[in-house]
Structure 1
C-alpha cells in the first residue's frame, strides 16, 4: 500500500470508523440530554427576543436558549450524585476509553460533583451542537449535490441565476460540508474521550476510599487465612503425628494404636466444628452493622487442645483464665494452638512447657520446646504461623516473638486485656 493509500485509510477510519460512529452516538445522546434544559431556555429567552414560539427559527432564540440551558444542566448534574455512574456507563460503552480509568459509584465529595457537572455540561453542550448540525446540514448538503441534476431545486435554493460552472461546483461543496461535519463530530468525540478520565475518573477522595476498601478486604482475608491455618493446620499436624506413631507400633502395641486412633477421631471431630465456625465468618452479614462476631474456641477449651495435641505438655497457669475477655481469650487460644503445631512439625513428640499468666491488665503466654537435633527443612511458603501469631498480638495492641533461645525454641506473647498497649 502506498503512503497516500495508507493516509486515506487512516483518515477514513478516523472519520467514519466504528469508534467514530460510536462517539457520534455518544454526542447525539448528549444533545438529547440537553433538550429539556433547552426548552426551559426558550421559555425564558422567547419573550426577550420577541420570538413567535418555542420552535421559532430565530437564531437569537436558538442560541439564547442554548446559553441558558448550559448552566441549568451544570446545576442539575451537580445536585444528583447518580449523574456520575450514569455518565460513566454511557462513556465507557461509547467513547473507547478503558473501563479502569473511570470512577465507581456516585459522586459524594464536592470535587467529584464539580467534575461530574463539568463533564455533563461539556457532553451536553458539544452534543447539542453536533446533533443540531447532524439534523440540519446533511439535507442541505444533499440538496446541493443534486442541484445540477434537478433544475427545480435551483428555485427552492435561490440558485437560478448562477452560471453552469458554478452549479457544477455545488456537489463538491455538498461533499465538503458532509466531510466537515464528520470531522467536527470526530474532533468533538476525541475531545470528550480525552477529558473523560479527568472528569469522570477517580478523585483523590475516591482513591483513598478505594484503598481503604482494599485494606479492609485484605485484613478480612488475612483474618480468615489465620483462622484456617491455625485450626486446620494444627489438626493436620496432630493427626499426621498420631498416625505415624501408630503405624510404627501397629504390630507390637495394639493399645497405643487404639488410643492414637481415638485421638485422631476426636481431633477430626473438633476440627470440623472449628472449620464450620471459620466458614461462618464468610457468611457473616456485614450489612447488619457492628463489629465482626467473634467465634471459635477460647482458653476454657485449652484442656481438650492439650490432650489431643500429640505431645506431652506441662501447663502452668497463674491467675484466672475466666477473667480474660472473650476476644483476647480466643486469640490466646489460637497462639497456643499454633505454638503446638510448630512444636509438632519441628520437634516431634518432644515435651512442651506452657506458661499462661494473667495479672494486671495483660495475659502472657510462653511456650518452650527443645530444639531438634537437625535444622528443620524449609517448606515453600512456610513461616505463616509465626507471622500469624505476630499479627494476632498486634491487632490486640500487644506483641509476640518466637525464636531459638539457647537449647530451646521459645514463643512468647503479651496481650493487653483491654486491647491497648
Structure 2
C-alpha cells in the first residue's frame, strides 16, 4: 500500500498529472492539425484521432522544452514532487548550453508524454471503477447504455465480483502511476542533472569565491598582522626601558600611535573590499589600500631602523603592482621584526626597471627564535601568492648570516595569473 498510495507515490502521481496538464495546449493544437486531414473525425471521441493528436503534440512540446527557462521550472517541480533519493544533485539556473537544452527538452517531453497517459487513464478509470463498484446496488446503472450487461452477467453471483473488479482496476492504475513516477525519478538525475559545462561553471564560481577569501585573508594578515606585531614589540621594548630611557619610550609610543592610525585606514580599505559592488567603476578588481607612495610612512614607524635604497621612479609602478609591492614589504618587515628583533638594521632596495620591479629586503637573524603562533606561518605563502598573481616570483632564505626576501614583479600584469608556489 505504501508503494502504491504512500506519500511519495501520491506526489509522483500529482507530478504526472501536472505533466498531462502541460501537454494539453499542444494536444489541442494537434487536434486541429489532425482535423485538417480528417475533417469527418471527432477529435474527442475517436481513439485514432486522439492518438494522432497525442503524437503531434509531443514534437511541439519538445521544441518548447528547448527554452532556457524550462530547466529551472522542471527542476523545481522534480525536487518537490518526484521523490528523488537523498544526495541526487540537479542543475541550477537556466540551460545555457546546447547539451543542457537538449536534456531539458528530453525531460519535458518525457514528463508531459508519460503524464498525459497517466492523466488520461486516471480520468477514465476512476469514474468507471466507481460505476462498476455500484453495479450490484443499482438496476438503473446495470441497464444503462454505458454498461448494457447481458442477462448471463446480470445475475447476483457475477455482480458480487464487481467491487473486486473495481478495486483491481484502481490498484492497476495506482501501480501504473507508481511505475511511471519511478521512471521519471530515475531519469531526473540524467536529464536534469548538471552537465560537464555546469560543473565547470560551478567550479569556476567556487574558485572565484575562494580567491576572494584568500585575497581578504592576505590583506588582513599583512595589514593588521604587521601592525599588531609592531605594536606588541614596541610596547614590550618600551616597558623594559621605561625607567632608564624616557626618550626611547616616547619614540616607541609615537610609533605605536602612528602604526595604529595607519592600520585603521588600511583596515577600512580592506573592509571596503567586502562592501564593493561588482558593478562599481572598477568592477570590484581595482586596487585598495596603500601603495608605494606611502612606503616612507611605513618605514618610519615599523619599529626597526630601515635603510631604504630606491632605484628608479616608484611613481611609474602601476597601482595594482604598487599595492602588492607595499604588502610584500610590509610582511617582510613584520617577519624581520618578529624574528630579528633589534639585532641590526634592515636594508631595503626597490629597483624600478623597464619591465619589472625588484624588491630585496635583508634582515638579521635574531639570537632567539620567534615564538610559534597557532595558525601562523602564512606570511611567506601570502608573499608568494601576491607575486604569482601578478606573474612574478618571490623567494626567501638564508643570505650572509641573515635573511633575504626577494620579489620580482612585472610592471605589466598578465592576462592569466600564474599559480602561486609555496616558498
Is the TM value for this pair above 0.5?
A: yes
Match of 1:411 among 384, 401, 405: 405
User: Is the counterpart of residue 95 in structure 1 residue 82 in structure 2?
Assistant: yes
1:10-409 equivalent positions in 2, closer than 5 A: 12-51=1-40, 56-78=44-66, 80-97=67-84, 98=86, 101-156=89-144, 157-161=147-151, 162=153, 163-288=155-280, 291=283, 292-350=285-343, 351-409=345-403
Kept after mapping to 2: 8 A contact 1:103/1:200: yes
Structure 2 CA distance, aligned partners of 1:81 and 1:268? Answer: 53
Kept after mapping to 1: 8 A contact 2:41/2:49: no
Structure 2 CA distance, aligned partners of 1:65 and 1:349? Answer: 91
Q: SS in structure 1 opposite 2:307?
A: strand
Structure 2 CA distance, aligned partners of 1:297 and 1:190? Answer: 61
How far residue 135 of structure 1 moved from its aligned partner, in angstroms, is 1.1
How many residue pairs match? The answer is 408
Deviates more, 1:290-299 or 1:176-185: 290-299
Structure 1 CA distance, aligned partners of 2:281 and 2:103? Answer: 32
Deviates more, 1:243-252 or 1:359-368: 243-252
Shift in CA distance, 128/308, structure 1 to aligned 2, threshold 3 Å: same
How far residue 295 of structure 1 moved from its aligned partner, in angstroms, is 1.6
How far residue 196 of structure 1 moved from its aligned partner, in angstroms, is 0.6
Deviates more, 1:254-263 or 1:341-350: 254-263
How far residue 164 of structure 1 moved from its aligned partner, in angstroms, is 3.0
Structure 2 CA distance, aligned partners of 1:254 and 1:375? Answer: 28
Alignment correspondent of 2:421: none
How far residue 290 of structure 1 moved from its aligned partner, in angstroms, is 5.5
Shift in CA distance, 301/247, structure 1 to aligned 2, threshold 3 Å: same
How far residue 207 of structure 1 moved from its aligned partner, in angstroms, is 0.9
Deviations 1:41-94 (A, max 9, x none): 11111243345655x21111211111111000000111x201101111111111
Kept after mapping to 2: 8 A contact 1:27/1:131: yes
TM-score, scaled relative to structure 2? 0.92
Q: SS in structure 2 opposite 1:286?
A: coil
Q: SS in structure 2 opposite 1:314?
A: strand
How far residue 183 of structure 1 moved from its aligned partner, in angstroms, is 0.6
TM-score, scaled relative to structure 1? 0.93
How far residue 14 of structure 1 moved from its aligned partner, in angstroms, is 1.0
Structure 2 CA distance, aligned partners of 1:260 and 1:285? Answer: 40
Structure 2 CA distance, aligned partners of 1:84 and 1:200? Answer: 7
Q: Which ranges in structure 2 are unaligned for 5 or more consecutive residues?
A: 419-423
Structure 1 CA distance, aligned partners of 2:62 and 2:159? Answer: 46
Kept after mapping to 1: 8 A contact 2:42/2:49: no
Shift in CA distance, 99/282, structure 1 to aligned 2, threshold 3 Å: farther
Deviations 1:218-274 (A, max 9, x none): 111111111111111111111111111122223333333232222212111111111
How far residue 185 of structure 1 moved from its aligned partner, in angstroms, is 0.6
How far residue 186 of structure 1 moved from its aligned partner, in angstroms, is 0.7
Shift in CA distance, 289/142, structure 1 to aligned 2, threshold 3 Å: farther
Q: SS in structure 2 opposite 1:296?
A: coil
Deviates more, 1:268-277 or 1:164-173: 164-173
Q: SS in structure 2 opposite 1:364?
A: strand
